[in-house]
Amino acid sequence: MKIGFIGLGNMGGPMAANLAKAGHEVTGFDMADVAIDGVAMAPSGAEAAKGADVVITMLPNGAILRAVAADIIPAMTAGAALVDCSTVDVESARAVADQAAAAGLLSVDAPVSGGIGGAAGGTLTFMAGGSTDAFAKADPLFDIMGQKAVHCGEAGAGQAAKICNNMILGATMIATCEAFALADKLGLSRDKMFDVVSTSSGYSWTMNAYCPAPGVGPQSPADNNYQPGFAADLMLKDLRLSQQAAEAVDADTPMGQKARDLYAQFVENEDGAGMDFSAMLPRFEKRGRD
């Protein structure tokens, strides 16, 4: 396939490289001066999109996605597919899908889980929203860039799945970290805490697979001085998107709201910026009750 790829940062760069390695003809564009193995660089987003069967975007946020979409949609050929893999607000995803449909294009919102390691290794999970035809067109590319793609529903459903998953993840990480800090103060060893909880009803992905306590459970960013991993800043971004969505549809999400507030405090007023999101544990460790 002829593929345009716009946004070749930490995630987009390796994803584009994997598509090129699989034999696709990939033309890329990024505002920054980047070079990606096997990817020809175009002078603009519109040039990268021209004549492509599929254009993939991997951008920082919804405002940038909207601007890029306005630029590239007129350059795309009717019947081609616009596949946005960025994490953005549901409203922007749906607005871009409407514009694409008006121009006779297929579109999919397909945010990912799996981080930079998943992007490099081609093991991402895609959560996709769009028509069946649009998903079918993008699916062979998801196969190359990832290990699993779930067609979640119509436009916006991929972003909805992503922010709901990450709202659970953020709140669960906080609960796991505060429980470890309480256990410390109660004189319970972290090894015993892990042993019990990881096989009891308090188990979770954050405890069992990504344990925030160093030296306990499987290897995780806690064992690497809390270098990300999944940065607290990115968790904050996703928690804000989940609250923006909850406000838009009048959903009561008190745990998600609290998780957003705690990550905002951690990233903006404490020392959480640039740390893994599991660094909430040392944060709680240092604190007493307010």
- Which are the catalytic amino acids? 162
Closest to ligand NAD by CB, 8 vs 93, is 8
Q: Which of 3, 4, 5, 6 binds ligand NAD (CB under 6 A)?
A: 6
Residue 108 in contact with ligand NAD, rule: CB under 6 A: no
CB atoms within 10 A of CB 273: 13
Distance CA 42, CA 19 (A): 17
Nearest residue (CB) to ligand NAD, 83 versus 179: 83
Of positions 16, 26, 39, 68, contacts ligand NAD by CB under 6 A: 68
**Residue 115 interacting with ligand NAD (CB under 6 A):** yes
Beta-bridge mates of residue 56? 5, 83
Q: Which of residues 14-43 bind ligand NAD (CB under 6 A)?
A: 29-32
**Helix (H/G/I), strand (E/B), else coil: 53:** coil
Contact 281, 177 (CB under 8 A): yes
Does the protein bind ligand NAD through residue 241 (CB under 6 A)?
no
Distance CA 162, CA 149 (A): 12
The Cα–Cα gap between 125 and 140 comes to 13
Q: Binding residue for ligand NAD (CB under 6 A) from 3, 5, 7, 107?
A: 7
Helix (H, G, I), strand (E, B) or coil at 82: strand
- Site of interaction with ligand NAD (CB under 6 A): 6-12, 29-32, 45, 58-60, 64, 67-68, 86-87, 112, 115-116, 230, 234, 237
